[in-house]
Chains A and B, each alone.
Chain A
Amino acid sequence: MRTSLQAVALWGQKAPPHSITAIMITDDQRTIVTGSQEGQLCLWNLSHELKISAKELLFGHSASVTCLARARDFSKQPYIVSAAENGEMCVWNVTSGQCVEKATLPYRHTAICYYHCSFRMTGEGWLLCCGEYQDVLIIDAKTLAVVHSFRSSQFPDWINCMCIVHSMRIQEDSLLVVSVAGELKVWDLSSSINSIQEKRDVYEKESKFLESLNCQTIRFCTYTERLLLVVFSKCWKVYDYCDFSLLLTEVSRNGQFFAGGEMIAAHRILIWTEDGHSYIYQLLNRWAQMGAVYKTFSGLSKSLYPVDGRVLKESIYPHLLCSTSVQENKSRPFVMGYMNERKEPFYKVLFSGEVSGRITLWHIPDVPVSKFDGSPREIPVTTTWTLQDNFDKHDTVSQSIIDYFSGLKDGAGTAVVTSSEYIPSLDKLICGCEDGTIIITQALNAAKARLLEGGSLVKDSLSHKVLKGHHQSVTSLLYPHGLSSKLDQSWMLSGDLDSCVILWDIFTEEILHKFFLEAGAVTSLLMSPEKFKLRGEQIICCVCSDHSVALLHLEGKSCLLHARKHFFPVRMIKWHPVENFLIVGCADDSVYIWEIETGTLERHETGERARIILNCCDDSQLVKSVLPIASETLKHKSIEQRSSSPYQLGPLPCPSLQVESSCK
């Protein structure tokens, strides 16, 4: 039985970062779903008047979200699927916000398409996935297990984009994909269902080399059932679906990079770029414009369907009808999409999500027209919104817990807390501030006063101490006694932006010692484990922003070792008590082994040896980082199935904490 864990989140004034990497609108046009680099998904309400409001933040991924797609027939079950950089996949119910299924596969997806043919398939449908692996994977939409795959007989390669073509005429479905090498491949979809279910090899029906690279989107025109739009980063092309002959190529101007497109009506195309601009083109027939009858030119054309009266080969050209207005000073890349509502109120919506966390919507008119003089009309932004807008709309707890003590008068702004530490045994909350002061207050009383009793607080009733010793923002704090009861209860360490580490006596408020490391900001303060003692005492380890590691001996008030040779950020610290080694694991998967007594670098290992060394030692300490970076050592083909435990949790105010994944 799945248990649901509910937690209460306290939001401050500032919204959490949400750098949008994927965006979609659900079929009922009521919800916008965005996936972010931080690993969270956000559900936004979309009202009938096209007003946006953030609804929920879903925590389920520990790496950047790569794509979103619907995972069921939306009218039956409002499920969507999200995939992340580290292979995690989650199926969410967007109405309740619950995660209904979760799996981690050794595949990184860049696009997912849902497919279900109820009269030929059993089960809930398939997720056709493509990404940083060869060909197309078929994953069961309910269990998230790999069912089978579509294989290429010729030039198997990664696939950039896919689309499912449903032909009404012959009631057959096909899968069209374009590979990274620019090859278009077609697989029979509906007629391969049996083969797939019986795990027989399914190869492509045909393929064609498209002579352009970096395909972004492929779309089939459902209105004409004839045209195929393929958007590359530097050009877009229209093909005739019947024989894949090239009808039109339009190259990008002004150095713009195309990011996607859609056929929004018969002969009408919407193209959007990486910097958020979009253009609507009408495809016009050149000969018809000239007033010539097709028959005169039939000898020149290679039309396969003369009965339909249209000369198709290289005779259509795009006419720019409209473009959308975009606010300047936006940073790329934008992720965009287009949605066509088939129910009331029949909106055609172009939407975009940005790295800054902003969503913008444009309402596309049913019949876009250019201006009277033929120049393109501009479509204005209909609505734009961010998470911060939701925060600004509501009354927030405008002051932080320590504002009363920070020495600032009313109206002078709030003290910015840059690091904090809670000591349960003493009921103390230690806050390091941006101006270098450290404030120590009674934790529970302060929280109670701030949150429960509101503003009617008498300042003097809460005792607090202000420690002044740093001149720059305090970046890290450590209370040694909390980690090892053998150490002095009065000791506290703080590190600041200027590489200064101060050892305090928190009872007498005096500075016991100052260490000057000259290594950039002190990003982390750690302590060696109990069994690792040098000269009878556990050692303090400081990780600095220049990637160096300093070891401090508190009793002797000395710096034992300053390891400065690391090129890349430090990710892990390990201790080897027998040989007195400090083992530093860096972000480039290499390991530096330092001999503490002599202060020399004993060894530098990379690759497999580094991995073995890190795995061998116990007592590793992970160095906290703001953005968890996905582990690159994927075990190929080892499929871990984890049970899902749905929960929603808001972020905790201190930005340096990692949020644990929902699978525990």
Chain B
Amino acid sequence: MVTVMAATAAERAVLEEEFRWLLHDEVHAVLKQLQDILKEASLRFTLTGSGTEGPAKQENFILGSCGTDQVKGVLTLQGMPSDVNLKMPRNNQLLHFAFREDKQWKLQQIQDARNHVSQAIYLLTSRDESYQFKTGAEVLKLMDAVMLQLTRARNRLTTPATLTLPEIAASGLTRMFAPALPSDLLVNVYINLNKLCLTVYQLHALQPNSTKVRRDPWPDGSGAVLPRTSRGPGMPTPSLCTWRWGSQRLEVSHVHKVECVIPWLNDALVYFTVSLQLCQQLKDKISVFSSYWSYRPF
């Protein structure tokens, strides 16, 4: 045992030198790289409004699916969607809805993702080149905090909130349209990964004495599920579902879903993945040293 310890004493001096280099130079290089990547990512979520002038990014995204699907939408994103035009044929009529001028509606997913990226950048900028890291544990904690924000930013885009139909009905979006949406239409807009999705639900009221059986729906990817007490591994196809709204029992007769890829969201997701990997690699490098001096408050 004693000989083993002596042999590593010389090694330990080398290890300490390496660790010092890691803390003083390598860490800052990685942090700088992370900052650059995340600043690029945050540019994708251009902040408009709140008093800043500057060219507002106006992009029109056309949502429509091929084939006979009838729903077509044009969404305008100014950093955040603020306008949607819907063309919906119904009973062979073409209906047109547009956002009201006086109302503002923001896609919370994008706002949350943007805020998480800002938090991550703030954490990194508060440890700039002039800051000396004293221990490896400090670096690990910083990386954990940054990774937490980036994971949350990514999850906001990859995991749209599962809203129930009553919640969609009650959300602000339904009241945003001029002319007002008919009471048998529900609209939901959300981000799924790098895609902007628009789902339109066509409802019809059931007769009060109808004995239609309620079937257990599987989330059809639209993010709308019925509130259920038990949800087993469900059926692969969406099915009709009923729910109660006020005094009526309504049934979803049709679901239209259209989506469109947003290029800058794709970029942002790639930036998140790369940054997370960089953080994990730095953590791994630091952890290697912890095994060598576990007896010291490393």
Contact = CB atoms under 8 A, between A and B. Distances in A.
Nearest to A547: B284
Nearest to B116: A132
Given A546-B284, A632-B155, A156 B106 contact: yes
Interface stretch (A179-187, A237-245, A577-585, A592-600): A179-187
Nearest to A180: B115
Contacts of A520: 288, 291
Contacts of A153: 104
B60 interface: no
A264 interface: no
B1 A155 contact: no
B162 A155 contact: no
B161 interface: yes
Interface in B1-54: 1, 4, 47, 49-51
A2 B107 CA distance: 43
B159 interface: yes
Contacts of A607: 158-159, 193
B280 interface: yes
B155 A331 contact: no
B46 to A, nearest CB: 13
A20 to B, nearest CB: 12
Given A607-B193, A616-B233, A568 B115 contact: no
A355 interface: yes
B134 A209 contact: no
Interface string B80-116: 0000000000000000000000001010100110011
Nearest to A207: B50
A545 B287 contact: yes
A519 to B, nearest CB: 12
Given A157-B115, A567-B280, A588 B50 contact: no
Interface residues of A, number: 60
B165 to A, nearest CB: 13
Contacts of A133: 112
A214 B122 contact: yes
Interface in A221-263: 233, 255, 257
Contacts of A255: 128, 130
B122 to A, nearest CB: 6
A48 B162 CA distance: 53
A568 B122 contact: no
A331 B134 contact: yes
Given A182-B50, A329-B134, A473 B294 contact: yes
A521 interface: yes
Nearest to A106: B161
Nearest to B122: A214
B213 to A, nearest CB: 25
A85 B295 CA distance: 31
Interface string A415-445: 0101000000000000000111000000000
B118 interface: yes
A635 to B, nearest CB: 7
Nearest to A254: B130
B296 to A, nearest CB: 12
Contacts of A435: 1
Nearest to A255: B130
A211 B108 CA distance: 23
A472 B294 CA distance: 11
Interface in B126-157: 126, 128, 130, 134-135, 138, 141, 148, 151-152, 155
A181 B134 contact: no
Given A181-B47, A567-B277, A331 B115 contact: no
Contacts of B1: 435-436
A157 B135 contact: no
B59 interface: no
A520 B287 CA distance: 10
B180 to A, nearest CB: 18
Nearest to A151: B172
B220 interface: no
B177 to A, nearest CB: 18
Contact of B126 (A155, A274, A568): A274
Given A132-B115, A331-B138, A637 B50 contact: no
**Which of B1, B104, B130, B159: most chain A CB closer than 10 A?**
B159
A523 to B, nearest CB: 10
A209 B193 contact: no
A568 B148 CA distance: 13
Interface in A391-424: 416, 418
19 contacts: A132-B112, A132-B115, A134-B111, A153-B104, A155-B50, A157-B111, A180-B118, A214-B122, A333-B126, A472-B291, A473-B294, A546-B284, A547-B284, A567-B277, A587-B280, A588-B276, A616-B233, A633-B159, A635-B161
